[in-house]
A and B are shown apart, each in its own frame.
Chain A
Amino acid sequence: MKVTRTPHLQPTRTPLLPPTRAEYCVIACAEAWRDGGEILASPMGLVPSLGARLARLTFAPDLLLTDGEALLVRPDGTPEGWLPYRQHLTLVAGGRRHVMMGASQIDRYGNQNISCIGDWERPRRQLLGVRGAPLNTLNNPTSYWIPRHSRRVFVERADMVCGVGYDRAAELGSTARFHRVPRVVSDLGVFDFATPDRSMRLASLHPGVSVEQVREATGFALAVPDEVPYTRDPGDEELRLIREVLDPAGARAREVPEGARG
């Protein structure tokens, strides 16, 4: 589907309200799928879903999207293919996919946990289970979305490693040649592993967030470059798509509330 650009400087058009934190998060998630080509985008959670659909409608038109169930759909909901779970799992093994998962814990090398908190034998809190995280991380690019950046999530060591991080992938050698964690997006900023030892690095701050704030909310020593850029601004067309087409009810503000942090 070709999106027609809204003409700029329409005399009747009121100026857009500045982007909210949630909208910066949508942009930061969308960027995960830039240059992905003709692959399946598998966003989990609302903000990543908005990001994937935004990318599909703008700079990554070849992406495939699902309806969250068994259908591949165009942005307007028109089915274009069938992807039941069994085919989805096979597709993951084939690698033509970039998934953005959640994480109950993530550590400095990108090891992720959604299974349980505490001792696995008898957990303090049982969570979902490993789900498809081991499969995802060894087979296709796996990014993460964390709506509330805190020391409880960004931990020194994940209690149960579901998604494989860079230190463990390195130990596997060529078997892990498809392993890649392109980015971690939180409500505070964007993170990657572009450091010599593949530990987590602050890649950009969402406007209004300070480096100190991120350090304070992170349970391990984060690599911070001398100059940290801000997450890019959404364009007018992107803001229009988010606000009028993708999420007119404003559900994104429930996942990332405005002004919740100082």
Chain B
Amino acid sequence: MGDKTMTADEVVSRLSSGMTLGIGGWGSRRKPMALVRALLRAGIGDLTVISYGGPDIGMLAAAGRIRKLVTAFVTLDSIPLEPHYRAARERGDLALTEVDEGMFMWGLHAAAQRLPFLPVRAGLGSDVMRVAPDLRTVTSPYEDGETFVAMPALRMDAALVHVNRADRLGNGQYLGPDPYFDDLFCEAADEAYVSCERIVDTAELTKEAAPQSLLLKRLAVTGVVEAPNGAHFTSCAPDYGRDEEYQREYASTPWPEFAERYLSGDEEAYRSAVREWRKEREA
């Protein structure tokens, strides 16, 4: 049982351009933003990204790192439309595979179970079938003879997720109300990297929370990063809520200016730039 702790920069040093990456969370909720920021610093690009999209997609798209995106939506939740993603799409900067939220989930399940596809009713009749010409249907071999979408497995080279607690071995815990799909992302990936608010001893994990909060099993986790505030500015209940004011700053600042001010240094530089911004606002 090895110690899997590493830094965010060590995580991205194990990734490379052209990979297919899954990013956990949902919209602007519990996104592994510290890992995304490290990805931006490392200059990795030409990515295929699989995500229930939020600012993770906005930032990577604005920086021109996404070749192809697989998603059902991209949103900042409290700001319905992600401005940087939106601009990238309107410029024609990235290829898109647009599937339904449920199709996406069954694509993760298929990958986690090493199946080529799973049949789903969602998608039929909609333009999802028109804009993704690779999607195929499958017909039930039983009496009903029904036709379904054969949602292909969303297999990925690596997954990036963020949880509230983890131990050094890769057992990961969520403490908020929703696990989202982070366990499936890890199981659907060849390698999974988990950032967390705090690394604790294994015995601590079940001291204050029930065992069903142990979302991630170490057998599906490659590396563990301690990243306090590592989902910022997305929400990470119950540790913190979404930083709405800073999200507005992100959404309303032209990308080059935003990247220059907040993303040109390491994670510590990011945090101090955010502190500086807050001080200016309060002055």
Spell out A's residues near B (CB within 8 Å). 69-71, 82, 84-86, 89, 92-93, 115-116, 120-135, 137-139, 160-164, 168-169, 171-172, 174-176, 178-179
Q: Is B6 an interface residue (CB 8 A)?
A: no
- The stretch of B98-106, B165-173, B193-201 in contact with A is B98-106
Inside 8 A of B178's CB, which chain A residues have their CB? 69-70, 84-85
Q: List 17 A-B contacts (CB under 8 A).
A: A70-B178, A85-B181, A89-B102, A92-B102, A122-B89, A123-B90, A126-B90, A128-B74, A129-B75, A130-B98, A130-B100, A134-B102, A135-B103, A135-B122, A161-B127, A172-B125, A176-B124
Q: How far is the CA of A132 from the CA of B100 in the complex (A)?
A: 5
Instruction: Return B58 CB to nearest CB of chain A, in Å.
Output: 11
Q: Which of B122, B125, B181 contacts A86 (CB 8 A)?
A: B181
Could you tell me the distance in whole angstroms from the C-beta of A77 to the nearest C-beta in chain B? Answer: 14
B residues within 8 A CB of A171? 125
- On whether the beta carbons of B147 and A175 are closer than 8 Å, the reply is yes
- Name B180's contact: one of A85, A174, A178 (CB within 8 Å): A85
Question: Which of chain A's residues has its CB closest to B129's CB?
Answer: A134
Cα(A115)–Cα(B130), bound, Å: 13
- Please tell me which one of the listed residues B86, B90, B126 contacts residue A161 in the complex, with CB atoms under 8 A apart: B126
> Is the pair B80, A93 in contact by a Cβ cutoff of 8 Å?
no
Contacts of A131 in B (CB 8 A): 72-73, 100-101
Known pairs A93-B122, A135-B120 / 20 extra A-B pairs, C-beta < 8 Å? A69-B177, A86-B179, A89-B101, A89-B105, A92-B102, A121-B92, A128-B75, A129-B71, A129-B74, A129-B75, A130-B99, A130-B128, A131-B100, A134-B123, A135-B102, A135-B123, A162-B128, A175-B146, A175-B147, A175-B148
Contacting A at CB under 8 A, from B76-109, are: 80-81, 85-86, 89-90, 92, 98-103, 105
Q: Is the CB of B81 within 8 A of A126?
A: yes
With A92-B102, A130-B98, A138-B121 already in contact, the answer to whether A125 and B128 are too (CB < 8 A) is no
Residue B26, interface by CB 8 Å: yes
Which A-B residue pairs are the 7 nearest by beta carbons?
A: A129-B73, A135-B122, A70-B177, A135-B102, A126-B89, A164-B125, A134-B126
* B72 neighbours in A (Cβ, 8 Å): 129-132
Do B100 and A85 touch across chains, with their CB atoms under 8 A apart?
no
Q: How many residues of B contact A (CB 8 A)?
A: 40
Interface centre among A70, A86, A137 (most CB of B within 10 A): A86
Is B131 positioned at the interface, with any CB of A under 8 Å from its CB? yes
**Which partner residue on chain A sits nearest B126 by CB separation?**
A134
Q: Are A120 and B131 in contact (CB under 8 A)?
A: yes
B101: chain A residues within 8 A (beta carbon) = 85, 89, 131-132, 135
Interface residues of B (CB under 8 A from A): 26, 53, 71-75, 80-81, 85-86, 89-90, 92, 98-103, 105, 120-128, 130-131, 146-148, 177-181
Whether A163 lies near B85 (C-beta < 8 A) is no
Q: Give B75's nearest chain A residue, CB to CB.
A: A128
- Closest B residue to A168 by beta carbon equals B125
Indicate if the CB atoms of A135 and B100 lie closer than 8 Å: yes
Q: B105, A164: Cβ atoms under 8 Å?
A: no
CA distance A168 to B127 in the complex (A): 10
Shortest beta-carbon distance from B82 to chain A in Å: 9
Residues of B within 8 A of A115 (CB): 98, 127
Docked complex Cα distance between A115 and B75 (Å): 12
> Assuming the A-B contacts A122-B90, A132-B72, A133-B126, are A93 and B121 also in contact, with contact meaning beta carbons closer than 8 angstroms in the complex?
yes
Given the contacts A86-B181, A122-B92, A128-B75, A134 and B103 also touching, CB distance less than 8 Å: yes
